[in-house]
Amino acid sequence: MAEDEYGKWDIVDAIDEGGQAHVYRVKDRTGGQPGLFALKRLRNGKRIDRFRNEVEAVAALKHANVMPLIDKSALHDPISKKDRRYLVMPLAEGGSLDDAARFKGDARRVIGVARQIASGLAAAHTHSPRIVHRDVKPGNVLFPKKDADDVWVSDFGICLIDDDRPRQTEDAERPGPAMFMAPELEGGGKLEVGPEADVYSLGKVIFFMLSGGVILPRERLDEPPYREVLDGHGLGRLKALLSQMIRRDPTVRIQTMAEVIEHLDSILAGMDGAGTHPEVDEASERLMKTETERDVRMAALSAANEAWDVAHANARRVLVETIEDQLRSVARDRNKPGGTTFQVRTASASGKQNFGRFAVGLTDSIELLWTRSDGDRRTWVLTIHVCWRSSFDKKGRVGFFAELDVREANGRLVDRCRGLVGRKQAAKGFALNPTEPTLFEQAPDAWLALDSDIRKTVTDLFIALLDAISQGPSVFVVAQLNAKSRRDRSNR
């Protein structure tokens, strides 16, 4: 290793080696800063902008509850093959909050740690420009000393710095940990979030501490076995606070860390018998009042969710049955005894599929299989996927898209013979699109009135299948070449 590879820092040993960065224990060879420190070195060059975000955020936030910055490499030099971008921080001798067993059931200690986290985040939220962490989780809460509850908030790598810089998170890329991040960030959703996104995550972290390491799924605070964590004596006000922080709708959450801190102070004062102070009593009264209001809203939300589930199930049923019926109808007209044959089959599906700027959840698939009897045993398959996607009108979207592939007699995919189906440019009908399909989607209750539109679209997709079959497997190569040509022209 070259002497100046990490400036004046010599590596002692490795602490952690991940996909995006390596963390090493280092010492200052000049003796100017005695002791050991942690050096975080960027490993993935594609994350250089995120790394700059982290360094700039930590350098700007000089706060007792934010991990301090000791040293850093140059941030804006051109990237080289042997790039060594790094930052140096103090060692967190007490580890991280991932080990939460010691806080189980100890509400005072939990509130003390939570207040420090909130204080560090409040400094970020009120900084100019505003910084939203977006990755608040136990692993990013560090303890400077062993056997002490002092706290640092760390790892601002995917923070949102609210200025004019371009956003570093792709639209379909999830910016944070699924179990702790705010729902509006799921699946690469709304990235322009405010402090309320960190409020949600902190609520989940508080529950994690109090339970001794149990992760609360979604917003299930009132469901067994999670509600038992907050059923103890004197925890009613803390439960009321968490119920206002851990809410799916960001507009009805607590909006600022200053308000969270106010409530935490009020709860702690009540535990210490200081609940007679007018400001403390006022905060407590306000908290309990909103708990009653919350119950009313939760009941309404539950009814709305149930209605959405019914509409979602009806939309899926309508789509699957209409698509299947239309495919059987057009296939029946084309089947020839002793010649080409079509077969329609359906299956349930699960998981998510990502396209360029969006991600969808899969629910059902309808396949149209075309085979011939002239010795060529390969099968052409048009698959229409029924799917759903969340949206901000609270109804969501249910829809479908199509893809085309060719399979051997044993069912294996023919090499490079697979593509999505999209609208033709400046023309009616469909053609292969190597990167992104045409997604037909509506609010769940809208599909009930669109029978003719569904059938017309399925017929057009069927015609696209016949057109592709007439061209043979080369149609997939042509689609790829056309896509490359379009990209080349756009880069000129």
Residues 226 and 346 occupy one common structural domain: no
pLDDT of residue 218: 85
- Residue 288 falls inside a structural domain: no
Taken in order 477, 412, 353, 155, the sign of the CA dihedral is: negative
Residues 1 and 124 occupy one common structural domain: no
SS (H, E, C) 322-345: HHHHHHHHHHHHHCCCCCCEEEEE
By C-alpha distance, which of 468, 490, 488, 469 is closest to 479?
468
d(CA 24, CA 117): 25
Residues 23 and 156 occupy one common structural domain: no
pLDDT of residue 284: 55
pLDDT of residue 85: 82
Residues 97 and 172 occupy one common structural domain: yes
Residues 373 and 477 occupy one common structural domain: yes
- Mean pLDDT per 10-residue run, the chain (492 residues)? 72 80 91 92 75 85 93 72 79 94 94 97 94 93 95 89 60 55 74 89 97 92 90 84 91 94 90 56 58 62 69 86 92 75 88 80 92 79 91 76 92 89 76 83 84 91 91 84 56 50
Residues 270 and 409 occupy one common structural domain: no
Residues 124 and 76 occupy one common structural domain: no
Q: Which of 90, 117, 138 is the endpoint of a domain?
A: 90
b/e sequence 32-68, b meaning 16+ C-beta within 10 Å = eeeeebbbbbbeeeebbebbbbbbbbbebbebebbbb
Residues 139 and 23 occupy one common structural domain: no
- The tokens for 444 are 């769940």
- Residue 289 falls inside a structural domain: no
Global pTM reads: 0.57
- Residue 296 falls inside a structural domain: no
Contact between residue 71 and residue 87 where contact means Cβ atoms under 8 Å apart: yes
- Residue 332 falls inside a structural domain: yes
Number of domains in the chain: 3
Q: What is the DSSP letter of 448?
A: G
Range of the domain at 105: 91-275
**In 193-235, where does DSSP find H-type helix?**
195-210
Residues 251 and 350 occupy one common structural domain: no
Residues 98 and 140 occupy one common structural domain: yes
- Residue 290 falls inside a structural domain: no
- Residue 281 falls inside a structural domain: no
Q: Please tell me whether residue 108 adopts helix, strand or coil conformation.
A: helix
In CATH, what number is assigned to the domain containing residue 116? 1.10.510.10
- Residue 254 falls inside a structural domain: yes
Residues 3 and 95 occupy one common structural domain: no
In CATH, what number is assigned to the domain containing residue 67? 3.30.200.20
Contact between residue 275 and residue 322 where contact means Cβ atoms under 8 Å apart: no
Residues 459 and 313 occupy one common structural domain: yes
pLDDT of residue 170: 45
Within 10 angstroms of residue 347's Cβ, the number of other Cβ atoms is 9
DSSP assignment string, 414-428? EEEEEEEEEEPTTSS
- The tokens for 59 are 């350098």
